Amino acid sequence: MRYLLLTLCINLFSHLMAQLNYQGAELGVEPYIGFSNLGGSVGGEIKYAARISDALIVGPSLRIQRNWSNNLGVQSNMTTWGGGIFAHYRYQELIFGGIEFQYLKSPYSFVNPLETVKPWSPNLMVGGGFYLKLTDKVRLNAALFYDLINATNSPFRSSYSFKIKNEFGQVVRILPIIYRLTFFIPIDSQ
């Protein structure tokens, strides 16, 4: 039974790979800057995107971000860094959907600054948005992503801006949704 399942998986994978082939690469650059009266962040992400079909790009990513805070009188700063993988599917060069996983060194809790947390934060983002061709050499992804894991030490927590309020106007929940602007530049084509 094991061999039958293994043979079936290999056969399915080979059929899938026969439909996908390397068609070039793109370099993605995602700058980030955010400030408030309690702190801020500056940083960005670089993505290497391999085009394996007209609509599908996949690849690794690398993020580095400097954060500082003055929350409840506790001053702190740290550098968040890490890597991940992503896949985006573009539809008619107008919209796209994507999934991104990153594992970031982020030893600071954004929920409670005095809480001790694990030093690494997993982040699994699912979302999509507009894919705009600005010039022949520059493309822009303008997107909203939802963090499925929403770890307490996620460096993206300071960027959550979608709030649910009760009838008294008090914030009762903050949704783990972020916006991303990523510029993609073709670096080679087949």
| Ordered domains of the chain (ranges, CATH) | 23-189 (2.40.160.20)
pTM, two decimals, is 0.81
Question: What confidence score (pLDDT) does residue 81 get?
Answer: 95
* 24 vs 17, residue with greater confidence: 24
Would strands 120-133 and 177-189 be described as parallel, antiparallel, or unpaired?
A: unpaired
Percent of the chain with pLDDT over 90: 53
Segment 155-179 mean pLDDT: 89
Residue pair 98/86 in contact by the 8 Å Cβ criterion: yes
> Does residue 18 surpass a pLDDT of 60?
no
Mean confidence (pLDDT) of the chain? 86
Residue 181 pairs with which residues in a beta bridge? Answer: 142
Stretch among 3-7, 106-110, 120-124, 125-129 having the lowest mean pLDDT = 3-7
Residue pair 160/178 in contact by the 8 Å Cβ criterion: yes
User: Per-residue b/e over 76-101, b at no fewer than 16 CB within 10 Å?
Assistant: eeeebebebebebbbeeeeebebbbb
**Residue in the structure block whose two tokens are 């993988």:** 85
Segment 142-165 mean pLDDT: 89
Segment 62-79 mean pLDDT: 84
Q: How wide is the angle at C-alpha 60 spanned by C-alphas 56 and 63, nearest 5°?
A: 125
> Does residue 158 surpass a pLDDT of 80?
no
